Amino acid sequence: MDETGLTSRIKRRIANHPIAAFLIILYPVSWVLFLPDLLGKSGFGVIPVDIPAQVGILLVTIFGLTSVAFLVTRIADGKAGTRTLRRHYYHFRAAPQWYLLAIFGSPLVLLLAGLALHGGSVLSPFGHNAAQIPATYLLNVVLIAILISVWEEGGWMAFMTARLQKRLGPVWASVVVAPFFGFVHFPLFLVTGGLIDNARPQGSHVIEYAFYLLILFSVPVRILITWVFNSTGGSLPVVGLLHASIDTTASGAVLAAFYPAVDGRLLYVGIAVVAIVLIAVTRGRLGYRGDQPIGESQLPTSQAAPA
């Protein structure tokens, strides 16, 4: 077979199996992009430079997830498909409550969990450290959303989940995506500060943390993100803020300043409760309308209240 024939055959395979192609290309590309972090002083110490984990995350989200999603979409769906995918990145038109939910929902969930377990004493740090909220929380949410989360969700939500939910429904699509979403971060477990502030799991704890952080906790997060994406007509800016809010709320700086007496893992327990409620209230639809598939042409010009 000549080179032209081989290229055509590969393109047909990608067009026929876009999700499988996305994953097959994504993991090698992403893990190669994590190499600077793994080889640096915070990783295996092969090179005498301390490379922040955020460098690898930024490279993976832009040159891994985003590039691979657009490459596969271009081959599978042509220029019309890439235009549709691109629209999600600048779909800012969503009702204000969705932005408020995206930015403040996660800290509110953790606060409610803390109140349920510890009572009103958990409110004191907010009063003492209120001046830190703009710099410690809000600025971080916006920066992470712009630099990382929007691009990350372009691959996991706008590309993969949006395609899967047409066949599996939004709940099962979210469940299927969750372990793939978590597993792409696995190299960060080998980097100090990669996924655990100022530390990394050792020995058997690697498997334990991988299960909890990359799989178990990922499922309710993916369900929540799917609901927000569908309910806003496919707004990646809103979804990116939500994802950044979850990451920032679970960070060491925010927990130390505002939730010193609260176990940060309660955030994910709270999100799991919210996910179960959403599945029940929406009867598993999570804002998805089968007669108007996400990823097709129309994006609503206005949004209703949360479903």
- The pLDDT of residue 212: 66
Residue 31 has pLDDT above 70, yes or no: yes
- The pLDDT of residue 298: 37
Domain range holding 138?
Answer: 88-281
Residue 306 has pLDDT above 70, yes or no: no
N residues, the chain: 307
Per-position b or e across 89-106, b if 16+ CB within 10 A of its CB: bebeebbeebbebbbbbb
Residue 15, in any domain of the structure: no
In whole angstroms, give the CA distance from residue 150 to residue 138.
16
**Would you state the structure tokens that stand for residue 144, as one six-digit string?**
């992470």
Residue 211, in any domain of the structure: yes
Q: Which has the higher per-residue pLDDT, 184 or 91?
A: 91
What is the tens place of the pLDDT at every residue in 128-154? 888 999 999 999 999 999 999 999 999
Residue 47, in any domain of the structure: no
C-alpha to C-alpha distances, 208 to 23, 202, 285, nearest whole angstrom: 24, 10, 32
Residue 54, in any domain of the structure: no
Residue 62, in any domain of the structure: no
C-alpha to C-alpha distances, 161 to 16, 55, 256, 281, 298, nearest whole angstrom: 17, 26, 34, 21, 18
Which residues, 6+ apart, have CB-to-CB distance to 81 below 8 Å?
73, 74
C-alpha to C-alpha distances, 61 to 26, 176, 207, 230, 271, nearest whole angstrom: 10, 20, 24, 22, 24
Average pLDDT, the chain: 86
**Would you state the structure tokens that stand for residue 224, as one six-digit string?**
């929540």
Number of domains in the chain: 1
Contact between 246 and 163 under an 8 Å Cβ cutoff? The reply is: no
In whole angstroms, give the CA distance from residue 182 to residue 199.
19
In whole angstroms, give the CA distance from residue 280 to residue 286.
9
At 196 the three-state DSSP class reads strand
Give the whole-number percent of the chain exceeding pLDDT 90. 59
Residue 290, in any domain of the structure: no
Contact between 159 and 64 under an 8 Å Cβ cutoff? The reply is: no
Residue 239, in any domain of the structure: yes
Residue 155, in any domain of the structure: yes
What is the tens place of the pLDDT at every residue in 224-270? 999 999 999 999 999 999 999 999 999 888 999 999 989 888 999 99
